[in-house]
Amino acid sequence: MSSISGASGFHLTAAGGPLLRQPLAPLVPRPDEVVVEVAGCGLCHTDIGFAYGGVPTRHPLPLVLGHEIAGRVVAAGEGKQEWLGRSVVVPAVIACGECEACRAGRPTICRKQFMPGNDGDGGFASHVLLPARGLCPVPDTLPAGTTLEMLSVVADAVTTPYEAVDRAGVGSNDIAVFVGAGGVGGFGVQIAAAAGASVVAIDVDAARLELASRHGAVLTLNAKDLNPKELKAKIRALSSETGRGRTGLKIFETSGTTAGQQTAFGLLDFGGYLAVVGFTPEKVEVRLSNLMAFDATARGNWGCAPEKYPAALQLVLDGKVALAPYVEMHSLDELPDLFEAAKNHKVRLRPVLVPGAAQTGVSVPHEQAGALQGAARS
């Protein structure tokens, strides 16, 4: 049986504790598993919650965090040899494919799901061992300015709002409002615009709003300058001007803050739809009777069904969703400092951690090295 030796990763050793770089045990893929050499892994707000926010991981610590992973398959178990040498995006939520929820078409609520960096070691490492289910293949040739490292954010920051927009049925008759225009929200703005909606971006950061105005938003509103009634009035004026949103706004809470969630809920009107995409462990006070009074809908979404990843990826490859303005590359060695900066809200763009030199000394099994070389030549 093949294995990968010499891999290492940053382990969270205790809640609120240090991230320590430590060697990984040899990675031995069982049938239907693969080992991915990590090209890049995005740092998500959820990772900060695991490390500092009191959100427990399902796998006991120590654990390698990181669930936004893109890379190359360097070892494969029985039945998955066809993945050797392929570049892939790894789903952030990998369903079992067999349980009642999966058979009912609800893979994101699969109770046997595997989430890297939660149910097992994740992508803040040189290599990661994963189920092969749902892997999203990446073309060998990418558009200019797009790299495999960048595509790591497709695993969550792009596909999660894609799932939310798809569920909401956003189209050309809609006004889509995103409360929180950084990270997930910035990609959501672009996805809704690609679906044909008139998109409103709300944030408290002028730079994020300016970026959103260049990438899909037709109206940007700073919540620091406008009270809830004024926000609603501005959006209603857009509805009157465009003739869109007459049967209810499509509102997406992507800030992951209590203030953002209160703002999003307060925007609900007749026939409105609220998608809760951001997460905060803090409690939020809202009047649920508004859902009844407005005949409105509120729905959350946990990740994205893996079968939708290729369509979300295609939006990036077609240039309809820009990644470069929203991400920044860092060496994996910078991870502890970036976690601290993110905790203190000092990170403006989505960091992507690149192992680089971390892969030196890793041993690829001899019987699979030839397959990888062949894939590289083809």
The pLDDT score that the predictor gives to residue 54 is 83
SS3 for 203?
strand
Q: pLDDT tens digits for 6-30?
A: 999 999 999 988 999 999 999 999 9
The pLDDT score that the predictor gives to residue 24 is 96
Least reliable range by pLDDT among 98-102, 243-247, 355-359: 355-359
Instruction: Give the pLDDT band of residue 357 (cuts 50, 70, 90).
Output: very low
In the chain, % of residues over pLDDT 70: 94
Instruction: Give the pLDDT band of residue 285 (cuts 50, 70, 90).
Output: very high
Evaluate if residue 109 carries a pLDDT over 70. Answer: yes
The pLDDT score that the predictor gives to residue 362 is 65
The pLDDT score that the predictor gives to residue 92 is 97
Q: pLDDT tens digits for 112-147?
A: 999 999 999 999 999 999 999 999 999 999 999 999
Tell me how many degrees the CA angle 13-158-217 measures, rounded to the nearest 5: 130
Q: What is the dihedral of CA 228, 231, 232, 238, to 10 degrees?
A: 180
Least reliable range by pLDDT among 126-135, 231-240, 276-285: 276-285
Question: Domain locations in the chain?
Answer: 8-156+305-377, 159-300
The pLDDT score that the predictor gives to residue 371 is 53
Q: Are 179 and 254 in contact (CB under 8 A)?
A: yes
- Integer Cα distance of 122 and 171 in angstroms: 35
Evaluate if residue 182 carries a pLDDT over 50. Answer: yes
Superfamily of domain 8-156+305-377: Medium-chain alcohol dehydrogenases, catalytic domain (3.90.180.10)
Number of CB atoms found within 10 A of residue 239's CB: 16
Average pLDDT of the segment spanning 89-107: 95
Average pLDDT of the segment spanning 261-281: 96
Domains 8-156+305-377 and 159-300 share a fold: no
Q: pLDDT tens digits for 216-231?
A: 999 999 999 999 999 9
Q: pLDDT tens digits for 292-322?
A: 999 999 999 999 999 999 999 999 999 999 9
Average pLDDT of the segment spanning 84-103: 96
- Integer Cα distance of 368 and 378 in angstroms: 16
The pLDDT score that the predictor gives to residue 368 is 56
Neighbouring-strand partners of residue 137: 88
**Six token digits for residue 46:** 């959820």
Instruction: Give the pLDDT band of residue 373 (cuts 50, 70, 90).
Output: very low
Average pLDDT of the segment spanning 188-195: 98
* 376 vs 35, higher pLDDT: 35
Number of CB atoms found within 10 A of residue 76's CB: 24
Q: Are 84 and 375 in contact (CB under 8 A)?
A: yes
> What is the CATH architecture of 159-300?
3-Layer(aba) Sandwich (3.40)
Neighbouring-strand partners of residue 200: 177, 219
The pLDDT score that the predictor gives to residue 254 is 97
The pLDDT score that the predictor gives to residue 53 is 80
The pLDDT score that the predictor gives to residue 230 is 98
List, as one string, the DSSP characters of 143-202: -TT--TTGGGGGGTTTHHHHHHHHHHT--TT-EEEEE--STHHHHHHHHHHHTT-EEEEE
The pLDDT score that the predictor gives to residue 360 is 45
Evaluate if residue 281 carries a pLDDT over 60. Answer: yes
